[in-house]
Structure formats: structure tokens, C-alpha cells
Amino acid sequence: MEKDEKSGTAVPGSHSLAETERKSLKSTNKNGNPIRLPSKILAVVADPSNPYDAVFIAESVGSVRRVTLEVGEKDTIFRGPTAPVTSVAISPDGKRLLAGCWDKTIWSWSLQNRQPLLRYRGHTDFVKCLLTLKLSKTDLLVSGAADASITVWDLQSAERLHVLKGHSRGILNLALDPATYHPEISILAGRQEAIIFSAGSDREIRRWRISVEKAEQVEAEKPILVHDTSVYCLRFDADEDLWTASADGTTKCLSRSRGFQPDTTMQHGDYVRAVAVDEAGGFAITAGRSEDIKVWDRGSGDLVHVYEGHYEEVTGLLMLGHRCVSVGIDATVRVWSLKSEDLRAARGKKEEDQHALLRGDGIRSESTAAGDQSVGGLTEEEAKELDELMQDD
């Protein structure tokens, strides 16, 4: 904000006005067939009962919503929290919905009737990420929070089994190591332990051995340090290599055979909030503050295409078959095809728009450039995020 010289009151600056106008113009675009919702969207997971066409999304107004992509149905809502919901997970048996919240707790509901179930209390700061697994015939919930701790819960009773500490700053994401745990095989075999990877705003990636009886850091393994600042997302691919997304503006593929050292690096630009992997097409997809959905050749690291549509930060990506689902602060759910013929058509259309712009007889799609600002630390960034999320949607 700038001050009026005569009155001394704060007035919107020229940059703020230009940015507001840019977003207003871009908000009308239909790219990605947007499903528009009433509040900012902070996370997305697949609905296991309809894994190729339905998702659950975390909303800043304090609810979780089920969205059917094909028809755009969005009326199934799970209510209770009064603060933003940051993360969503499904219980191993597919019967419970769980949501991490800024109120420092985890909420749960029955997926059958939407009735509230247990509430998990113990974190001293907002919950940022969740995952579930079944070990020794016990359903477990694992949560990471801004208090720099990871908690392992008995999912059925909400009993706090273990608290893990090692990160110096907030936990931003968790991922199950597929080399130690595969849902279908591990449940049937009665697996007793698994390895979990955690990422934090201290730029570290750590490994933890989890069981019902105990949980501990894998002491033989030092923290993985491949980024300059916060690591926002962890994703394993079918080869059991680890993909990361960071506030330093890069996505990296960490090779398991090389001790999780970078094998490929994608320079997305600005800070990267999410990464997804298209196994069938051979693509990696990245998104974040720049608003763009970038599609990369996962082998070479070359940029294949840039999808434009979101007009605020993208907060989550999810692969559903040959489609990538994106969600963002602009309160839209968008779907992008990664079929080779659709990518070719999208690239051709973008080239036509660019040629028309050069000729002066066409209008190019709205630019999504943003300032190159990295996240220097969790406290300042999360405070800013909370302030934005708590504004009226």
C-alpha cells in the first residue's frame, strides 16, 4: 500500500492495482475446464471409491469437499473446523476421511454418512501434512506440523503412540517409502514396520522407521540436503526414486541407486509447491507460485509444455490416469490431459497464439509471471499464509 500525500491514508499502489487487474482478466479463462468453488483450496487427494474421477479437497473456510470431475458435482461437504484445512487423507480401509487443520488438530468423519468421528489432539502448532498406513493389523495415522514434530497415532482410538523430533523447523510433507511398504501387499502380509520420509522448511529430508511398538529416525542415514530452502513436496515414482519440489524454484529427481542424490533437476522458477509423475507418459509435472502447470520429460528434464489457467498460486497436483488435476488459491479445480495427442494440440494452439500476437491480430493468453521470491523461513511465510487464508473468500 502507498500513502496519499494529502490525507496520509493508505491507498492501493500501482503494482497492487495492476496485479488485481491482471488476476481479474485472467480469472475468466476456461483453461483446464475449471470447477469453481467458494474458497481457496490447499490440498487434494483421490477418492478411493472413484479414483479416476473424484477427489477430496481441503478448503480454507474449514471444510473438506468431494468433487466429481466429469460432471462437476461439488455438494458433498464435510464440516466442523473453523480454521483452514491444510491436508487430507483417507484411512487404509477407505471408511474414514481425515483432515489436518490450522487449529492444531486433526479432524475425522465417516465417509458413509459424513458424521464427525474422532479428533486427534497433541500438536502445538498447525498441522500441515498427513498419511495413513496399516502395520501389524493396526491402522496408523502419521501427521507433520509446524511445531517441527511428527506424530504417529492409533487411527482407531486417536491415541498418540509416538512423537518424532529431528527437524529444526516445520514439517511440510510426508511420504511412504515404497521399498518398505506397498498398501495392498503390506496389509495382506501383516507388515510390521515401514520407512517414512519427511520434508521441512529447514530444507532437510529425513527418514524414520515406524512400527506400532516404536518409531525412530534412521540413524545410519544423514538428512538429505539437495535444496537451498524449504522442501514442499515429496513423491515416489514407480522406480522408487524420490521427486522433490522446493521453494528454491526447482524440482529434483533423487536416484535411490545413488543414495538419493539428484539425477535430474527441473528449473521451474519461483517456488515450487507440488510435483506429480505421469508413469505412462514419462512426464513430471510441476506447479507453484508462478501459477503455471509445467510438463517436463522426466528422463531428459526438458520442458515439454506449459499449461496456463490458474490465476493464483497452485497448491496441489494429483495424477488420475492420463490426467493431472491441479488446485489452487484461486478456488478452482482444473484438469489437464497428458495424452500425447492433446499435448501436441495444446502446443500447436499456443504457437498459433504467439504468431497471432506477433502479427498484431490476436491476443495471447494471460501471462502468469510473478516476482521471484523464495521462502526464507517457515515462521514468516506461514504467518503470511495464515493471514491470507483467513481473509474473506
Distances (CA, A) of 96 to 71, 104, 117, 148: 24, 19, 9, 26
pLDDT digits over 298-356, tens only?
Answer: 999 999 999 999 999 999 999 999 999 999 999 999 999 999 999 999 999 888 878 77
* pLDDT above 70 as % of the chain: 86
pTM of the model as a whole: 0.87
pLDDT tens digit sequence for 135-179: 999 999 999 999 999 999 999 999 999 999 999 999 999 999 999
Please report the pLDDT score of residue 286 as a whole number: 98
Only one residue has cell 506461514, namely: 382
CA angle 387, 390, 393 (to 5 degrees): 125
DSSP string, 258-305: GTSEEEEEEE--S-EEEEEEETTTTEEEEEETT--EEEEETTT--EEE
CB 41 within 8 A of CB 331: yes
Q: Nearest 5°: CA angle at 346, between 236 and 54?
A: 50
Question: Considering only CA atoms, which of 15, 41, 12, 2 is closest in space to residue 370?
Answer: 15
pLDDT at 368: 37
The Cα 167–Cα 198 span in angstroms is 9
CB 340 within 8 A of CB 49: no
The count of residues in the chain is 393
pLDDT recorded at residue 166: 96
What is the phi/psi pair of residue 358, to 5°? -65, -35
Q: For the segment 171-183, what is each residue's pLDDT rounded down to a tens digit?
A: 999 999 999 997 7
Q: Which residues contact 185 (CB under 8 A, 6 or more apart)?
A: 191
Q: What is d(CA 220, CA 379) in angstroms, rounded to the nearest whole number?
A: 30
Interatomic CA distance for residues 83 and 161, integer angstroms? 26
3-state secondary structure 137-150: CEEEEEEEECCCEE
pLDDT of residue 160: 98
Q: Which residues of the chain have pLDDT under 70?
A: 1-14, 184-190, 360-393
Yes or no: say if 334 and 310 are a contact pair by the CB < 8 Å rule: yes
**pLDDT the model gives residue 219:** 79
Determine phi and psi for 349, rounding to 5 degrees. Answer: -65, -40
The mean pLDDT of the chain is: 89
The pLDDT, as a whole number, for residue 278 is 97
Q: What is the pLDDT of residue 151?
A: 98
DSSP state of 221: S
